[in-house]
Structure 1
Amino acid sequence: MSPRTKEQNDAIREMRMDQIMQAAAEVYLEKGIQLEIRDVAVKAELGYGTVYHYYKNKHMLLEDLLWDALNRVESAVLPAKTGDVGSMLKAESFSRLLLTKCAEDLSVFILLKTVADNFHHFPGNRFSKLFADFQERIYLPFVEMVREGIGSKTAEKTANLIFGSLVGYTALNIHHHMRSEMDVEGIVHMIFSGIQSKER
């Protein structure tokens, strides 16, 4: 048998990383910050040594999970940020794309929930850069869409209400094992109908 090529090794590494990340997201939802590398290995059906080869501790693993989720969120909402429609329609589209991504990807939900909780489960200032990047790349552009869309001086308060509603709705569905039944259109329509009628 001939040795594997660099491309084959890279493909295996990428597959392993995806497997570990998916398992880590599932274990985090079950155990929170109490998760251990061993738990992730069991969930991923990999040897402890294999997971430990990639991540020396759970904080490194969670940090990668959250940074990866941030990049996927940014890609998911890009069409709303660059769309050629009014700001309120952009904000609505942004919310729909964000909620859809939460339903598809547990790590995205974990990121949003962790940001909403201000990383209070994590030690020290390990995630201050992640928080700053989330603000710059996701949150502040959304606040600006809301501000331009409703012409409100309370745009940040409104954006927080929307984010909180999306995170809370996702949490209810995930924890009751109804993720596949999430009514993305219905909840986004309900939220924005309420905001627009209140602002009139």
Structure 2
Amino acid sequence: MSPRTKEQNDAIREMRMNQIMQAAAEVYLEKGIQLEIRDVAVKAELGYGTVYHYYKNKHMLLEDLLWDALNQTESAVLSALTGDAGSLLKAESFSRLLLQKCIQDPSVFILLKTVADNFQHFPGNRFIKLFADFQERIYWPFVETVRDGIDSKSPEKTANLIFGSLVGCTALNIHHNMRNEMDVEGIVNMIFSGIQPKE
């Protein structure tokens, strides 16, 4: 049997890291910041040493998880922010896509919840850059869409209300094991039913 090529090793590494991050997201939903590398190894059905080989501690793992979630979030909502629809429809589409992504990928929900909580459970200042990137790539483009399409004295407050509603609805459904039963369309319609378009 010949040794694996660099490409094969890279593919295995990427597959393992995805497996570990998916498991970490599920464990985080169950235990929050109290998760341990051992918990992740059990959930991923990998040896503790294998997980530890990739991540020396849970904070490194969670940092990778959140950065990956930021990239996933940006990819998910990009079409809403760059489409030809009016700004109110863009804001609705953004919210719908974001909620759908939270259901499909718990790490996106964890990112949104962590940002909403101002990273209070994470030690030190290691997430300052992540927060700044989230603001630049997700939050401010959404605020601009709100500013252009919604009659609001404070677009930031309106954007925060929408984000908070999406995070809250997702949290309720996740923590009651109803993630797959979420009525994305109904939730987005309810949130936007009281929002007045700009004339």
Report if TM-score (shorter chain) is over 0.5: yes
Structure 1 Cα separation of the partners of residues 141 and 6 of structure 2: 40
Q: Tell me which amino acid in the other structure corresponds to 1:12.
A: I
Helix, strand or coil for the counterpart of 2:159?
Answer: helix
| Shift of residue 196, structure 1, vs aligned partner | 2.1
Which residue in 1 is equivalent to 2:181?
Answer: 181
Which residue in 2 is equivalent to 1:56?
Answer: 56
Question: Given that residues 151 and 195 in structure 2 are in contact (C-alpha distance below 8 angstroms), is that contact kept between their aligned partners in structure 1?
Answer: no
Q: Aligned pairs, how many?
A: 199
Identity rate, percent = 87
Return 5+ residue gaps in structure 1 as ranges: none
Structure 1 Cα separation of the partners of residues 192 and 177 of structure 2: 26
Query: What are the Cα deviations for residues 52-80 of structure 1, in whole angstroms up to 9, with x where unaligned?
Result: 11000110000000000000000000000
For normalisation by structure 1, the TM-score amounts to 0.97
RMSD over equivalenced CA pairs, Å: 1.2
Structure 1 Cα separation of the partners of residues 152 and 194 of structure 2: 14
Which residue in 1 is equivalent to 2:76?
Answer: 76
Structure 2 Cα separation of the partners of residues 188 and 29 of structure 1: 23
Matches within 5 A, 1:149-168: 149-168=149-168
Structure 1 Cα separation of the partners of residues 172 and 150 of structure 2: 28
Question: Given that residues 37 and 58 in structure 2 are in contact (C-alpha distance below 8 angstroms), is that contact kept between their aligned partners in structure 1?
Answer: yes
Which residue in 1 is equivalent to 2:99?
Answer: 99
Structure 1 Cα separation of the partners of residues 145 and 54 of structure 2: 39
Structure 2 Cα separation of the partners of residues 180 and 47 of structure 1: 30
Q: Tell me which amino acid in the other structure corresponds to 1:44.
A: A
Structure 1 Cα separation of the partners of residues 103 and 66 of structure 2: 16
| Shift of residue 32, structure 1, vs aligned partner | 0.8
Structure 2 Cα separation of the partners of residues 32 and 150 of structure 1: 35
Question: Given that residues 151 and 196 in structure 2 are in contact (C-alpha distance below 8 angstroms), is that contact kept between their aligned partners in structure 1?
Answer: no
Query: What are the Cα deviations for residues 158-198 of structure 1, in whole angstroms up to 9, with x where unaligned?
Result: 1000000000000011011111111111110111111128x
Moved over 4 A (4+): none
Which residue in 2 is equivalent to 1:127?
Answer: 127
Helix, strand or coil for the counterpart of 1:196?
Answer: coil
Query: What are the Cα deviations for residues 67-114 of structure 1, in whole angstroms up to 9, with x where unaligned?
Result: 000000000000001100111111110000000000100000000000
| Shift of residue 152, structure 1, vs aligned partner | 2.4
Structure 2 Cα separation of the partners of residues 84 and 126 of structure 1: 37
Structure 2 Cα separation of the partners of residues 151 and 23 of structure 1: 42
Structure 2 Cα separation of the partners of residues 147 and 153 of structure 1: 9
Which residue in 1 is equivalent to 2:18?
Answer: 18
Structure 2 Cα separation of the partners of residues 47 and 160 of structure 1: 41
For normalisation by structure 2, the TM-score amounts to 0.97
Helix, strand or coil for the counterpart of 1:124?
Answer: coil
Structure 2 Cα separation of the partners of residues 97 and 57 of structure 1: 32
